[in-house]
């Protein structure tokens, strides 16, 4: 893992950062996921990551963290109050250097959740598996989006 240097600062997002957060998500979505969605799925997803819509969800109780590099958002994570991961995205120029894992851990610890769920895009399921999630059922299609339900729970270490 190529750790980011200088390190990314992970904080709660402010309202003025959501436009830049939308940009980084749309860039990462376009590169990695969009081709696997049909037109309806892409429209549904883009509405879900509209800056005003994200800000409204966070204002109404979703927990979010943004990764900042010199004040620039380079990663974003958002979870529902019940511990369901709604979004996890890292800017295409900063992926595979540990930031996704840091964001996931930051929101999990901030939320105090001992388990978390996600509806993963099938093309991203292997990354969630690397983060410790396990599939809990078959693929589901809703509003043009195919997802795999997955669960994260702490690894139980056998008593010595
Ligand atoms: C998914 C995403 C948030 C992960 O962020 P990241 O900073 O690249 O991830 P990390 O570097 O922290 O890696 C986390 C784990 O996933 C693995 N991983 C990350 N990208 C991977 C890839 N492309 N292929 C295989 N494994 C990958 C890493 O090896 C790491 O596991 P390890 O610590 O056991 O080595 C980021 O790649 C992204 O935004 N992707 C596009 C959007 C997406 O798929 N979002 C999630 C679904 S909505």
Per-residue pLDDT of the chain (160 residues; tens, 9 = 90+): 557 888 899 999 999 999 999 999 999 999 999 998 999 999 999 999 999 999 999 999 999 999 999 999 999 999 999 999 999 999 999 999 999 999 999 999 999 999 999 999 999 999 999 999 999 999 999 988 999 999 999 887 777 6
Q: How far is the CA of 127 from the centre of ligand 1 (A)?
A: 5
Contact 139, 148 (CB under 8 A): yes
The reply to whether ligand 1 has any atom less than 6 angstroms from the CB of 147 is no
- State which ligand 1 atom lies nearest to the alpha carbon of 29: 42
Number of domains in the chain: 1
Question: Residue 70 domain-assigned?
Answer: yes
Question: Residue 129 domain-assigned?
Answer: no
The reply to whether ligand 1 has any atom less than 6 angstroms from the CB of 98 is yes
Question: Residue 130 domain-assigned?
Answer: no
The reply to whether ligand 1 has any atom less than 6 angstroms from the CB of 124 is yes
**Read out DSSP for 43-89?**
HHHHHHT-HHHHHHHHHTT-EEEEEEETTEEEEEEEE-TTSEEEEEE
Question: Residue 144 domain-assigned?
Answer: no
12 by DSSP, 3-state: which? coil
Question: Residue 142 domain-assigned?
Answer: no
Nearest C-alpha neighbor of 88 from the set 68, 67, 72: 67
The reply to whether ligand 1 has any atom less than 6 angstroms from the CB of 129 is no
Question: Residue 123 domain-assigned?
Answer: no
Question: Residue 139 domain-assigned?
Answer: no
Give the CATH number, domain containing residue 51: 3.40.630.30
Q: How far is the CA of 145 from the centre of ligand 1 (A)?
A: 20
pTM, two decimal places = 0.94
Provide the residue range defining the domain that includes 109: 9-113
The reply to whether ligand 1 has any atom less than 6 angstroms from the CB of 126 is yes
Question: Residue 102 domain-assigned?
Answer: yes
- State which ligand 1 atom lies nearest to the alpha carbon of 32: 41
């Amino acid at each position: 893992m190529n750790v980011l240097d200088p390190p990314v600062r992970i904080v709660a997002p402010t309202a003025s950062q959501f436009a830049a957060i939308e940009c980084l998500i749309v860039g990462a979505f376009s590169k990695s996921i969009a081709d696997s969605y049909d037109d309806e799925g892409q429209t549904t997803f883009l509405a879900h990551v509209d800056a005003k819509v994200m800000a409204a969800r966070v204002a109404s109780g979703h927990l979010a963290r943004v990764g900042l590099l010199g004040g620039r958002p380079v990663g974003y994570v958002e979870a529902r109050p019940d511990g369901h991961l709604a979004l996890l995205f890292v800017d295409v120029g900063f992926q595979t250097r540990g930031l996704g894992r840091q964001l996931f851990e930051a929101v999990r610890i901030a939320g105090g959740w001992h388990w978390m769920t996600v509806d993963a895009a099938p093309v991203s399921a292997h990354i969630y598996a690397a983060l410790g999630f396990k599939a809990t059922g078959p693929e589901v299609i809703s509003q043009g989006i195919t997802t795999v339900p997955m669960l994260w729970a702490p690894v139980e270490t056998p008593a010595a």
